[in-house]
Amino acid sequence: MPRELFRFAVVGLAAYGVTLLGDYSLKLTVFREKPVTALFCATVASTAFAYLLSRRWSFAGRGGHHRVREAALFFVVNAGAVAVNLVPPLVSRYVLHLSVPHVGFVAQEIADFVAGMVLGTLSGTAFRWFGYRRWVFPTSAPPMGVTQGGEPELVVERLPCARGGQRDGSVVEVP
């Protein structure tokens, strides 16, 4: 699990960079009057990026579902995480009124950053970690390549050696 958590964190940091770059690029150009929309668009783009890295690297060792179902579950979990992520900036802007003309421009930008990029990202990340491990890349799912019913098939698996290494090529018949 520590390796998986480390990889999840690396992918998350890379996706955070995509979100940060996208958010400020949009917010300072085409979505000047709609900062929450800018954050939403940037987060959706980084989600697609994160799925590719998560499937190929972070959670590559876990079982999974068929790719279409897995991708759909990934995007459903991320839709929930985006909603969780948007709560702090919505509260900051529209409940606490931390925006111009109620506060200065610098205070508005600091509030947007803290609410969206810090608090929102942290809460969304916690939601994603739980959701990915529970629903998207579960350990209890059947191994990839195992049919749902009918004929048993041969699956090659790696078994641990006595010295902690890996042994390759053991063939196991799966009922």
Q: Which of 163, 56, 79, 91 is nearest to 127 (CA)?
A: 79
**φ/ψ of residue 165, rounded to 5:** -85, -160
At which residue do the structure tokens 């929450």 appear?
36
Task: Kindly report, residue by residue over 96-154, the tens digit of the pLDDT.
Answer: 999 999 999 999 999 999 999 899 989 998 999 999 989 998 875 454 554 555 444 55
Q: 3-class DSSP state for residue 130?
A: helix
**Number of residues assigned to the chain:** 175
Using CA of residue 27, residue 29, residue 33, residue 38, what is the dihedral sign?
negative
Tokens of 134: 């529970």
* Stated pTM of the model: 0.63
Give the start-end residues of each E strand in 17-79. none
- What integer pLDDT is reported at residue 63 of this predicted model? 67
Give the Å distances, CA to CA, from 62 to 4, 41, 140.
10, 29, 9
Integer Cα distance of 118 and 116 in angstroms: 6
